[in-house]
A and B are shown apart, each in its own frame.
Chain A
Amino acid sequence: SQQGEEDPQALSIQEGENATMNCSYKTSINNLQWYRQNSGRGLVHLILIRSNEREKHSGRLRVTLDTSKKSSSLLITASRAADTASYFCATDAWTGGFKTIFGAGTRLFVKA
């Protein structure tokens, strides 16, 4: 099964509310990344957190990493309608070359 699995699969909130998305993974990692995908577009990198970090901030984004539970969360504060997108976590794996393994994503819908 997939290395990274996001939860929930879909999330609908009102503008101004906070949105929390979770990601679980199975094997040890060096890094975990979060990406965003607007409908019909490519993925855009949001933030990277290393395995020795517990929390990282970038603007309205807050990412946590718990390596003991093999999980990460992405919090978007004060959400906006423009935050409507799919959010993917991605972990690194080595198979003769590094590859980034993506989860199935959380579809976030922010209602204005």
Chain B
Amino acid sequence: DTAVSQTPKYLVTQMGNDKSIKCEQNLGHDTMYWYKQDSKKFLKIMFSYNNKELIINETVPNRFSPKSPDKAHLNLHINSLELGDSAVYFCASSQQDRGDTEAFFGQGTRLTVV
């Protein structure tokens, strides 16, 4: 069973479109995250949710709106896509909102904006 799954794996879209990436974890974890990895492999946290509540919002443009319908799901909706949004987006989860817990990552969604 896939622990953290995100869909789609690849997403190619035009500038200005709105798109969503879905993430689900079956680990029973309380905390979920979205990370963005750029072309230089630099991985940066975007959002953190703990029990459906937003904990961290790292100065991400408000075109990015995460939604957590329940603690097993954290979806990422992006409005008015821009070229600079092209990157690989990773969903992750951990048991608790603590710095000493292992994070489990999804396979990533490669977003290409053309």
Contact between A50 and B105 (Cβ–Cβ < 8 Å)?
no
Interface string of A42-57 (1 = CB under 8 A from B): 1111001010000000
The reply to whether the CB of B61 lies closer than 8 angstroms to some CB of chain A is no
Segment among A11-19, A65-73, A100-108 that sits at the interface with chain B? A100-108
21 sampled A-B residue pairs with Cβ under 8 A = A29-B99, A41-B108, A42-B105, A43-B105, A45-B102, A48-B102, A50-B100, A86-B41, A93-B99, A96-B56, A97-B56, A98-B97, A98-B98, A98-B99, A99-B56, A99-B58, A100-B99, A101-B45, A102-B42, A102-B43, A105-B42
The reply to whether the CB of B4 lies closer than 8 angstroms to some CB of chain A is yes
Query: Whole-angstrom distance between the alpha carbons of A107 and B55 in the complex?
Result: 31
Query: Whole-angstrom distance between the alpha carbons of A50 and B98 in the complex?
Result: 13
The reply to whether the CB of B86 lies closer than 8 angstroms to some CB of chain A is no
The reply to whether the CB of B87 lies closer than 8 angstroms to some CB of chain A is no
Given contacts A42-B106, A97-B56, A104-B42, 15 further A-B contacts (CB under 8 A): A35-B103, A37-B41, A40-B108, A42-B108, A43-B103, A48-B100, A48-B102, A92-B100, A94-B99, A97-B97, A98-B48, A100-B99, A102-B35, A105-B42, A107-B41
Query: Whole-angstrom distance between the alpha carbons of A68 and B48 in the complex?
Result: 30
Q: What is the minimal beta-carbon distance from B37 to any residue of chain A, in angstroms?
A: 9
The reply to whether the CB of B75 lies closer than 8 angstroms to some CB of chain A is no
Q: What is the minimal beta-carbon distance from A36 to any residue of chain B, in angstroms?
A: 11
The reply to whether the CB of B79 lies closer than 8 angstroms to some CB of chain A is no
Chain A residues with Cβ below 8 Å from B35 are: 102
